[in-house]
Amino acid sequence: MDLNALLKEKQPAIVEKWFETVLAAYPENTANIYRKSEAQFTNPLGYNARQGVEGLFDALLKGVMLEEASGFLDNIVRIRAIQEFPPSQALSFIYELKKIVRAEIGKAVAEQGLTEDLDSFLSTIDDLALFAFDLYMGCREKLFEIKVNEMKNSTFRLIQQANRVGGKQE
């Protein structure tokens, strides 16, 4: 049996545990809400997290280029950037996948001499984490731009109002 076959066999358990690590960043009562409903519009975070980890794991199994799988990753990372998670907490779920994979298939990998294949797969997860960091920083930069523009517009409106009250017209 090759590494992909082992991963495919354990995919439901791996994906479920990975989904739980995404939710572990939230308080337990909030995580329970995200865990319960899989409806896209009533539970966007839970839906995006579940779809994200399933899609990402499929992409990793298929050896898809990270850019092609970025939509799945973006859905999770964007929410965490908006919620102002620090980068280490926002992206820690990616590194948790390595632990989950080792726990699920580590023994079989050792028995079947697939250590090099596993190392290569885990290296791909590291690449995914670096790619996620770029996405996270892009989201944070965009949020910062929006906030700066809001401040500029607000300041401009205040100056306009002050000029009107002070008798100056533009």
Between helices 3-23 and 28-36, what is the axis angle to 10°?
130
Q: What is the pTM of this model?
A: 0.81
User: Given pLDDT bands bounded at 50, 70 and 90, which one contains residue 147?
Assistant: confident
3-state secondary structure (DSSP) of residue 58: helix
pLDDT at 144: 85
pLDDT at 126: 94
pLDDT at 71: 87
> 18 near 25, Cβ under 8 Å?
no
Length of the chain: 170
Q: What would the pLDDT profile of 86-140 be if each residue is shown by its tens digit? A: 999 999 999 999 999 999 999 999 999 999 999 999 999 999 999 999 999 999 9
Domain ranges of the chain: 3-142
User: Given pLDDT bands bounded at 50, 70 and 90, which one contains residue 37?
Assistant: low
pLDDT at 45: 84
> 72 near 18, Cβ under 8 Å?
no
Mean pLDDT of 63-83: 86
Residue type (1 letter), 73:
L
User: Who has greater pLDDT, 54 or 35?
Assistant: 54
Q: What would the pLDDT profile of 18-29 be if each residue is shown by its tens digit? A: 999 999 998 898
Short-list 82, 87, 14, CA closest to 48: 82
d(CA 13, CA 35): 15
Over its C-alpha atoms, the chain yields an Rg (Å, rounded) of 22
